[in-house]
Amino acid sequence: MTTAERPARAVVSRSHILELLTQMVRIRRFEEKCAELYTQEKIRGFLHLYIGEEAVATGVMQALTPEDAVVATYREHGHAIARGIPMTKIMAEMYGKQEGCSQGRGGSMHIFDADTRFYGGNAIVGGGLPLAIGLALADKMQKRSRVTACFFGEGAAAEGEFHESLNLASLWKLPVLFVCENNLYAMGTALDRSEAETDIHKKAEGYRIASRAVDGMNVVEVEGAAREAVAAIHETAQPHFLECRTYRFRPHSMFDPQLYRTKEEVEAARGHGPIKRLLDWGSETGFIHPSDLEAIEIAVAQEVDAAVAFAEAGTWEPVKDLIRDVVAAPAEAWR
């Protein structure tokens, strides 16, 4: 896609707004279904839900092309859905079935998809940043104009990798879009208890990376900022940094009694959630009609049900294939 085909601003049209709404609803209902399935022990291990943060993945993905790359964290179901990985394959992966996108080997925290250049699914906080700058380095060295979008939470700002990676990206002028999803809590630790400087995007400025903070609950604003940043990356061949201020409505993971924040705070945030905000704005401006949501919900419910059915019908990988995909050609000595 040329620069001309990549609009640098959010497209504001009824069809596009409905597209944004649909994506967010798809993510929301998928995550809610995952929560339900987890309580029934269909999904095991850790489950980190994206509920409340849908606008960030949805908005940023709009600015990327299929050739671009995405690196995300363990809270990546929304990113995977917005990136275009079929819900069926994601759900099967959550179940651990071999029809899942990682053949069931990864689970909730390790969604990978080569077709959409989706590089996980990384469970070490901050671990994806070096990977992202490496992908960008390869693009630059091979003179390809692709962008690598790297999503991470504000907790990663404390890790050494954050600083090393921002420094390298800036020093080597790598085409990386750093997207910090600041939901104010790194598991149970509030931002102001762990960072001397809580304005995350200012840290990027310390590495001479152009950066901006946006309202992560406003999907139109997020999309606009992402499109501008991507355009700038192509133009200036420099990385960019977006801090998206958001909030997660659910606990860090399923097994979290949320002793670190009040119920009132969560309720207040719910009142300003991304879907509600878009619906309110959409009805005010006339982009969204009263019947639109219902139609979307019906279609989404069917898609989610189909994904669950696909996962339920999925199969377990035979145990005899246990030692597989460790290296390309295992020597006998591996066993």
Partner 1 sequence: MTEITTTYREAVRGAIREAMQKDERVFLMGEDVGRYGGCYAVSMGLLEEFGEDRIRDTPLSESAFTGAGIGAAMGGMRPIVEVMTVNFSLLALDQIMNTAATFRHMSGGQFNVPVVIRMATGAGKQLAAQHSHSLEGWFAHIPGIRVVAPATLEDARGMLWTALEDPDPVLIFENALLYNRQGTLAADAGPVDLDRAAVRREGDQVTLVTYGGSLFKALDAAEALAGDGISAEVIDLRTLRPLDDATIIASVRKTRRAVIVDEGWRSGSLAAEISARIMEQAFWELDAPVCRVCSAEVPIPYPKHLEDAAIPQVPGIVQAARATLGK
Partner 2 sequence: MALFKMPSLGADMEAGTLVEWLVGEGETVRRGDIIAVVETQKGAIEIEVFKNGTVSQLLLQPGETVPVGTPMAEIDGGAAGEPAPAAPAPERAARLSAKPAEPERPVATAPPPPRAKAGERVPASPAARRLAAEKGVNLAALKGSGPGGAIVSADVLAAEQPAKLGAAPSRRGLDMDEMRKAIAAAMARSKREIPHYYLQHSIDLEAATTWLAEANAERTPPERLLMAALFVKATALALKQYPEFNGHFVDGRMERSESVHLGVAVAIRGGGLIAPAIHDADTLDVGSLMAALKDVTARMRAGRVRSSELTDPTATFSSLGDRGVEGLWGVIYPPQVALVGFGKVLSRPAVINDQVVPRPQVQVSLSGDHRANDGHRGALLLNAIDKLLQSPEAL
- Which positions from 10 to 49 touch partner 1 by CB under 8 A, shown as an x/- string? ----------------------------------------
Asked if residue 105 binds partner 1 (CB under 8 A), the reply is yes
The two tokens of residue 197 are: 């400087």
CA separation for the pair 121, 107 (Å, rounded): 9
Q: How far is the CB of 121 from partner 2 (least distance, A)?
A: 18
* Nearer to partner 1 among residue 120 and residue 251 (C-beta): 120
Partner whose binding site includes residue 112, from partner 1, partner 2, none (CB under 5 to 8 Å by kind): partner 1
* Distances in whole angstroms, Cα of residue 6 to Cα of each of 41, 62, 63, 74: 43, 10, 8, 29
Partner whose binding site includes residue 65, from partner 2, partner 1, none (CB under 5 to 8 Å by kind): none
* Nearer to partner 1 among residue 171 and residue 299 (C-beta): 171
* Contact in structure between 214 and 245 (CB atoms under 8 Å): yes
Q: Which amino acid is at 230?
A: V
Q: Which amino acid is at 266?
A: V
Would you say the C-alpha torsion 322, 326, 329, 331 has a positive or negative sign? negative
* Contact in structure between 246 and 55 (CB atoms under 8 Å): yes
The two tokens of residue 9 are: 């601003």
Asked if residue 167 binds partner 1 (CB under 8 A), the reply is yes
Which of 159, 140, 10, 141 is CA-nearest to residue 73? 159
| 31, 54, 68, 161: residue in contact with partner 1 (rule CB under 8 A) | 161
List contacts with partner 2 (CB under 8 A). 32, 35-36, 38-41, 44-46, 97, 253-257, 259, 294, 297-298, 301-302, 305, 308-309, 312-320, 322, 335
**Interstrand relation of 189-190 and 185-186 (parallel, antiparallel or unpaired):** antiparallel
Partner whose binding site includes residue 243, from partner 1, partner 2, none (CB under 5 to 8 Å by kind): none
CA separation for the pair 93, 90 (Å, rounded): 5
Q: How far is CA 171 from the centre of its chain?
A: 26
CA separation for the pair 173, 184 (Å, rounded): 29
For the chain, the maximum distance between any two Cα atoms, rounded to a whole number of angstroms, is 67
Partner whose binding site includes residue 41, from partner 2, partner 1, none (CB under 5 to 8 Å by kind): partner 2
**Interstrand relation of 185-186 and 176-182 (parallel, antiparallel or unpaired):** unpaired
Contact segment (CB under 8 A) with partner 1 among 73-81, 157-165, 205-213, 278-286 equals 157-165
* Nearer to partner 1 among residue 120 and residue 282 (C-beta): 120
| 14, 16, 19, 103: residue in contact with partner 1 (rule CB under 8 A) | 103
Q: Which amino acid is at 160?
A: G
* Nearer to partner 1 among residue 205 and residue 325 (C-beta): 325
| 8, 11, 35, 138: residue in contact with partner 1 (rule CB under 8 A) | 138
Contact segment (CB under 8 A) with partner 1 among 25-33, 178-186, 210-218, 325-333 equals 325-333
* Contact in structure between 122 and 131 (CB atoms under 8 Å): yes
CA separation for the pair 146, 229 (Å, rounded): 13
| 6, 14, 134, 158: residue in contact with partner 1 (rule CB under 8 A) | 134
Q: How far is the CB of 265 from partner 2 (least distance, A)?
A: 15
Binding residues vs partner 1 (CB under 8 A): 69, 100-106, 110, 112-114, 119-124, 127, 129-139, 141-142, 160-161, 164-165, 167-168, 171, 324-328, 330-334
